Amino acid sequence: MTLIRGSRPRIKVLLAALVLTAGVGGTALVAPSPGTEATPPAQDKQPPAAPKPTPAARAPKPASYPIGGYFVFASPNTSRNTQKLTEIKTAGADTVITFGTPLAPATLATLPKECVIDGVNCAKAAAGTLEVNRYFTYSDGSVWSSQAVKCPQDRRITSQGKAFVVLVLPAQGSGCTSTNGKYDVVVAGGGAAGGMDPAASLALAATKLGMKFYAGLPLPVKRTDTAYLPDVSYQGTLALFTERFLQYQAATNNVKGLAGFYHSTEMPVTDGHTFDPILDLYRMQNQAIHRIFPTRGAIISPYLDARVSAFSISLTEARNGIRRIAQTASGLILNIAIQDGMGTGKGGAFQSNEANSAVDRYAESIVGKGSWSSKYVAPIRDYFLAAAAGISGTGAVLWANLEGMAPATASNPCGDSLRGQSSKARIDRQLQQLSNAQKIISFMWDSYYTCVGAGVPLKAQVEAGIATPIITDATFDASTGQVRITGFNLSGGNAQVKWTTKGGQRVVKTVKPTSTNTAYGVQSGMNPELEMILVNVGKTTLAAGRYYTVNVTNQWGAENDAFYSQRIYTEQSSRGTKG
């Protein structure tokens, strides 16, 4: 795989500093300590009775990886959920998200055979003499409690070792009584009777660990004729079921760790009216969330497809598309996490110096041989800049959904997954493109970060390299010699700058920062973990048509090698330009 030079970590952290527990079964992994140095800070040597240190004397903040959340599968096993979330927290994240379950049309013949009441199909028995319009299943494997029972015909059933609820919803109107005398019957659940509800277990684990959990919302099935659109023929039933689902969550799962809900129905980041039915779905469910959970939020994760040979979304379409999605918020806190496309080959994380270089072998397996610029409309970075402009003023928040897998080849298997295992080096280059997203989440922990694949699990790679500096931008004012560097985990070390002068001299200087701003991300409205350092290499000149490179070694001794400037210099440009 061709790796971006700016993402190749050379970790020099003392490995004996800390032992992190990771992996299933509590495998001990030795990893760099995110908050210690070879020589303990002075305050660590003070006796217990000593006064608290002043802020200037405090130990530097621990290193943290820029991925703040992961998609996960919920388990009915509380200890398993707690272990998983503990590993995710160790990797530096504070958020987990689960997918929703389809509310699927069914017939009496296709309803769960285990769901019976006195030997009779449970849906038929619950409906009794009522006229049934349609049957549905919601096979989420959960254990719905009796608090789901609201209407006279609703039932909670334990049958053949499984737990179900049967909800009898009006086919027309709201509440419990239909205005046209017809009803839709939903059979939900199917988890082990007496077991723990997976979503409730995950929410409790998140609460215990001080983390945030976004639960998947019910979603419609896809159309049979146009698979990229939802079946809206039963939108009214979905709206009523969404209401009942949220009411149930409010009654049984309203814990501190429940931060909100996730929309599993996806659409591209485009302004095409083809996808209006999905926007209508978002709006309907956002209104329901805001009504029942006024202090909670939601996540929508539209996908990016920048392939020249495929959907070929333009930057203008992305800017307008995210604005349309943001306008479905209906008063709630809406986080729009754009999928970056690197894991599916739909997006390219490349810098300007790589535009004419060949795509890596993983992208090649999707788009074929060629250069990055010939295969993709623009780099991911440019799409996120466009999205930031589009979302501005809407009240919605720009997130990023980093695809934590890679297109599958013979060299990167990941169990029976459709995609293959990625690497931390590839993830790092994706992170370089996503700095203006206020939070970065990743698809997905199970199993792309946990599978062994062809070597070390990705989660172990992340933990071992958690202190790696990731440079996202650099500008060089040759007239003053000041170099401005932004990124993650930059503080406390030095920077090496390499450039070519107008006279053709190749210069290399390693200097300490003249200033450090650890609040740069917060102040600029970008990712709050972003830092900015300034270094000065002295007044100089920059050769036209040449890149300069920047390399940072941070306070933990970790190094990120050779970040290239974003643009080529011209004779008229004497300073670095932000790309």
User: Per mean pLDDT, which range of 41-45, 332-336, 377-381 is the poorest?
Assistant: 41-45
Which residue, 188, 185, 186, 255, is CA-closest to 215? 255
Q: Report whether 362 contacts 1 (CB < 8 A).
A: yes
pLDDT digits (tens, 9 = 90+) for 262-303: 999 999 999 999 999 999 999 999 999 999 999 999 999 999
Query: What does the pLDDT average to over 21-43?
Result: 31
Nearest of 165, 224, 158 to residue 195 by alpha carbon: 158
- Taking each helix axis from N to C end, the angle separating 78-90 and 198-208, rounded to the nearest 10 degrees, works out to 40
* Cβ–Cβ < 8 Å for 278, 229: yes
Give the residue-averaged pLDDT of 498-509: 96
Q: What backbone torsions phi and psi does residue 286 show, to the nearest 5 degrees?
A: -65, -40
Give pLDDT, residue 414.
94
Q: What is d(CA 350, CA 342) in angstroms, rounded to the nearest whole number? A: 10
Q: Quick one: pLDDT at residue 567?
A: 65
User: Number of helices and strands (H, E) in the chain?
Assistant: 12, 29
Q: What is the pLDDT of residue 163?
A: 96
Per-residue pLDDT at 295 = 97
Distance CA 232, CA 521 (A): 41
Question: Which residue's entry shows tokens 């009794």?
Answer: 128
Angle 222-223-224 from CA coordinates, rounded to 5°: 115
For residues 90 and 463, what is the distance between their CA atoms, to the nearest angstrom?
A: 7
Count other C-beta atoms under 10 Å from residue 224's C-beta: 7
pLDDT at 160 over 90: yes
Question: Given the DSSP bridges, would you call strands 219-220 and 102-106 parallel, antiparallel or unpaired?
Answer: parallel
Give the model's pLDDT for residue 568: 59
Name residue 289's amino acid.
Answer: I
Tell me the pTM. Answer: 0.87
pLDDT tens profile 423-479: 999 999 999 999 999 999 999 999 999 999 878 999 999 999 999 999 999 999 999
Confidence band (pLDDT; 50, 70, 90) for 22? very low
pLDDT at residue 20 is higher than 70:
no
The pLDDT tens digits of the residues spanning 224-261 come to 999 999 999 999 999 999 999 999 999 999 999 999 99
CA–CA distance, 484 with 515 (Å, rounded to integer): 10
Q: Residue 447: CB partners within 8 Å, gap ≥ 6?
A: 414, 415, 417
Structural contact between residues 425 and 432, judged by C-beta atoms closer than 8 angstroms: no
